[in-house]
Amino acid sequence: MVSKMGALEHSKINEKTEMPYYKPIGNEVELFERAFRHQLPVLIKGPTGCGKTRFVTYMAAQLNRPLYTVACHDDLTAADLVGRHLIGHESTYWSDGPLTRAVRDGAICYLDEVVEARKDTTVVLHPLTDDRRILPIERTNERLQAPPEFMLVVSYNPGYQNLLKGMKPSTRQRFVALRFNYPTPSVEQEILIGETDIDENLAQRLVNLTNALRQLKDHDIEEAASTRLLIYAATLIKHGFDPVEACRAALVEPLTDDMETVEALMEVVLATFGTRQQITEKINPK
């Protein structure tokens, strides 16, 4: 009964926010629009930092719907999504969770990394994701009928999955699914320029470097460098930080704790951005 709402990370963006920058990769914009129009829930799968959240934010703005985003984690309960009774001054009162609010507002509800949430959490999604489109709230004895504008979007990263955390077929078969991946080099270059305003030459070198790093599969790297990290590197360099050190901080250290792997990745970085002095120091350490 007692609130844990403070612990729940969710945010609402409303329709008055300006249009976020999003560079379409394939037919995802049209597919999402059609899913919205026909009241179909959408599942987006793809590696971390490849643009899933930005895409949903952009689509919410395009469709002029408020967006409720919930970052799912393994403590997330059904009550965190639906709502709970809170203790007030004199009595308890009901407080909607983000899913309930999204249904009432005819909003888009985006559950990021949905496979992290506890299994009982996904059960509350079932009656909302078939043609009934209802949200039963046991505690208040309500049965909310979702308006046509309500849309449920979930995402997960297939790379993190393990047998226990995979999404059950009975849940996943309720969604239209979109697969995201890192963009092609020319598109990623455009995104990099769009996001950080760096010059074309630097963007090209950074994208080539990131793709070279992504090829290094034999090392202790769980997941390749994301577009998000590439943007961090570009931001540091644009504002005057040494390119080699910017790449170390943004494109190498976040990927691994293993020193040998760091060294191997840094060789690729030095080959692209190293000054003569940095390369000499590497060959003949003091």
How many angstroms separate the CA atoms of 72 and 160, rounded? 14
Q: Please work out the total of residues on this chain that contact ligand ADP, with binding judged by CB under 6 A.
A: 17
Residue from the set 3, 5, 14, 23 that interacts with ligand ADP by CB under 6 A = 23
User: What secondary structure letter does DSSP report for 140?
Assistant: G
Q: Does 135 bind ligand ADP (CB under 6 A)?
A: no
CB nearer to ligand ADP: pick between 200 and 260: 200
CB nearer to ligand ADP: pick between 46 and 66: 46
CB nearer to ligand ADP: pick between 82 and 206: 206
Q: Are 114 and 72 in contact (CB under 8 A)?
A: yes
3-state class percentages of the chain: helix first, strand second, coil last, to nearest 5: 45, 15, 40
Q: Does 50 bind ligand ADP (CB under 6 A)?
A: yes
Q: Closest by alpha carbon to 70, among 5, 139, 23, 135?
A: 5
Residue from the set 8, 13, 22, 32 that interacts with ligand ADP by CB under 6 A = 22
Q: Least distance to ligand ADP from the beta carbon of 272, Å?
A: 21
CB nearer to ligand ADP: pick between 71 and 262: 71
Q: Does 67 bind ligand ADP (CB under 6 A)?
A: no
User: What secondary structure letter does DSSP report for 252?
Assistant: I
Residue from the set 36, 43, 49, 80 that interacts with ligand ADP by CB under 6 A = 49
Q: Least distance to ligand ADP from the beta carbon of 110, Å?
A: 9
CB nearer to ligand ADP: pick between 23 and 282: 23
Residues pairing with 218 in the sheet: none
Residue from the set 43, 146, 195, 207 that interacts with ligand ADP by CB under 6 A = 195
How many angstroms separate the CA atoms of 62 and 121, rounded? 29
Strands 67-71 and 10-13: antiparallel
Q: Does 113 bind ligand ADP (CB under 6 A)?
A: no
Stretch (H or E) spanning 111: strand 108-112
How many angstroms separate the CA atoms of 268 and 224, rounded? 14
Nearest residue to ligand ADP, by Cβ distance, number only = 51
Q: Are 226 and 50 in contact (CB under 8 A)?
A: yes
Q: Which two tokens stand for residue 285?
A: 């350490």
Q: Does 256 bind ligand ADP (CB under 6 A)?
A: no
Q: Least distance to ligand ADP from the beta carbon of 159, Å?
A: 11
Q: Does 174 bind ligand ADP (CB under 6 A)?
A: no
How many angstroms separate the CA atoms of 251 and 232, rounded? 8
Residues pairing with 112 in the sheet: 71
SS3 category, 154: strand
Q: Which of residues 226-255 bind ligand ADP (CB under 6 A)?
A: 227-228, 231
Q: Which residues bind ligand ADP (CB under 6 A)?
A: 21-23, 25, 46, 48-54, 191, 195, 227-228, 231
